[in-house]
Structure 1
Amino acid sequence: MTHVAVVLAAGASRRLGQPKQGLRRDGETLLHRAARLAISTGAERILVVLGAYSGAMAASVADLAVECIDNDAWEEGLASSLRAAARALSDFGIEAPVLVLGCDQPALDAGHLRALLDGAARATSGCAATAHGDALGIPAVIAAAVWRKAEQLRGDRGFGAALKRLPAETVWRLHAPELEHDLDTPADLVAATARGWIDMP
């Protein structure tokens, strides 16, 4: 299945106190790692959405075959990055599913992304998402019919609500508890480091 990928990396990581995109696992920044994992899925086009620290973050993936785009409205939250990606992809065609991932899930690996793409290919909605308790979130595969609604998103919200409105049996769900561990606070960073997901400082 032809697909495109969007790597979300625009936030300022204010609660963490340092750019989470620049944290390292096995010597590789989390942003570089997320972009590399996206490439490994065979995506036809890969966008990295930047905002805060844009210059430094673009430099960190300069060796990869990705397109960096700036989200000037990044302080609004997640929705603004998805809208920026939708505008950048508007010339690609509306039938390609979109793999959406972030760089703040240090346990993310290629197997998660492959499972989501395979699940989406079998799902009647064409969508697959990661289960975070009762919520659906990223990484996720968003079918073209749902992706077209990106311009309607506002605030710090993504496609979770739209996916929940679909009949439950039509959305493939990835159950990966390790992906519920993200990097929002210093305590999250300590926990991730203890698990070996982040390099010791």
Structure 2
Amino acid sequence: MLPADAPESRPPARTVGVILASGLSRRLGQPKQLVLLAGQALIWHATRAMLEAAPSGGVLVVTPSGELGGRIRAALGELDVRFAENPQPELGISESFRVGIAALPTGTGAASFALGDMPLVSTQMQRAVLEAYETTRAPMVLARFGPQGVRAPPHLFRADLFGHFGQPGDHGPRHLIEQFRDRAVWVDLPASALRDLDTPEDARAMQAIFEHGF
């Protein structure tokens, strides 16, 4: 059960931006996080957008462990972010959520989760999610894209929901969203930002977008 939304029960204001970037890129055949777009790794673009949105608690990036994780961290070396290693990325994105939550600093009041393979989600879009939470302190702030209202990250969750991230699988917290969606705040984002990168065709299309402009 969620607590009442009275001011005295609200969590601290610190909000952390979390970039989930520990996927195994099985369909792409190479680490998607490191695909170059306009001279920078894909993960750099996604992380910079969140960083420039200025979440009050900073930015945490969830990477794989081992050599790939080291390469991802190196690609982000100039950015002021923290890292958490996911030693079991094969368990799916739900494990990345849990690793990210476990690594949040004490006093975190909310976390806004974004995907490392959606570099067209801009700073302004990330900021819109953060501002919706700052204004409402809602339990969840959920993004939906385009006229069809496709639900996809960035999604923000208040700290009193962190204990509900227990279900396994290669999917986000759908059970949690369904359970508490009547108390969610929605942010509408353009359909063009929904594009992600999973296949070689996706990579070529994304590289063309960054080469010729959005």
Range into which the TM-score falls when normalised by the shorter chain = 0.7 to 0.9
Equivalent of 1:174, from 172, 185, 188? 188
Larger Rg belongs to:
2
Name 2:79's counterpart in structure 1. 64
TM-score between both structures, scaled by the size of structure 1: 0.85
Name 1:144's counterpart in structure 2. 159
Partners of 2:73 and 2:19 lie apart in 1 by 12
Q: How do residues 41-190 of structure 1 correspond to structure 2 at under 5 angstroms?
A: 41-43=53-55, 44-51=57-64, 53-89=68-104, 91-93=105-107, 96-123=109-136, 125-131=138-144, 133=148, 136-150=151-165, 152-168=166-182, 170-190=184-204
TM-score between both structures, scaled by the size of structure 2: 0.80
- C-alpha contact 1:128 1:142 (8 A) present in aligned 2: yes
Name 2:50's counterpart in structure 1. 38
Shift of 1:124: 6.0
Could you tell which deviates more after superposition, 184-193 or 74-83? 184-193
- C-alpha contact 1:123 1:172 (8 A) present in aligned 2: no
AA at the equivalent of 1:97? A
Fraction of identical pairs, as percent: 27
- C-alpha change, 1:172 and 1:64, in structure 2 (3 Å) is same
Gaps of 5+ in 1: none
